[in-house]
Amino acid sequence: MAEVFAGFLCGYISALVLTPILALGLLKMRATSDLANRLLPPGTSAVGLMVILHTGMAMFWTAAGLLLGLVLNAMNGGHRVQFLLIRNVAFTVFVAGLVLAAVAPIALLSSRYRRSALIGGSLVVLLFGWLMPYLAAWSSFD
């Protein structure tokens, strides 16, 4: 139970952190993309866009956190290998692999969005792969 709640919390933190990055990226995209300019006309409020994006991202990232919490619960059994302040190395490598599979096409195909994709991916690995096992261990749920 502690792992699932830690996943939910990390998912919500991810939504809070990644929403402004995505919103600013979409607003900057208006200058170069005709489709983005039609979807987000020049009078579009950045705050309104962030509210809409945050609603969707909060649902997505908390659901992803719940699923990763179940995976962490399954991977916590048996012996755990700790290395360089990483509580569960196997889980961190698993999360890093998932993020790499999602971010690699963007980073390889688009030089314009490479930095944003790598920063966002690094934040997700940091929150889910590194912080989530610690949150689960520190909680009082059981």
Average pLDDT over every residue of 14-18: 89
Neighbour count for residue 50 (Cβ, 10 Å):
18
Give me the number of domains the chain comprises.
1
pLDDT at 109 over 80: yes
Model confidence pLDDT, tens digit, residues 28-61: 888 787 887 888 888 878 788 889 889 999 999 9
In the structure, what pLDDT confidence band is assigned to residue 77 with cuts at 50, 70 and 90?
low
The per-residue pLDDT for 63 is 94
What gap in Å lies between CA 59 and CA 8, rounded to an integer?
10
Cα separation values, 99 from 66, 81, 106, 123, Å: 16, 21, 11, 10
The angle at the Cα of 93, spanning 89 to 99, to the nearest 5 degrees, equals 145
| Tokens at 135, concatenated | 């949150």
Neighbouring-strand partners of residue 103: none
What gap in Å lies between CA 17 and CA 9, rounded to an integer?
12
For residue 44, what are the contacts with CB-CB under 8 A and spacing of at least 6? Answer: 27
Q: Which domain holds residue 88?
A: 2-138
pLDDT at 21 over 80: yes
Average pLDDT over every residue of 83-93: 81
The answer, as to whether pTM is greater than 0.85, is no
For residue 60, what are the contacts with CB-CB under 8 A and spacing of at least 6? Answer: 15
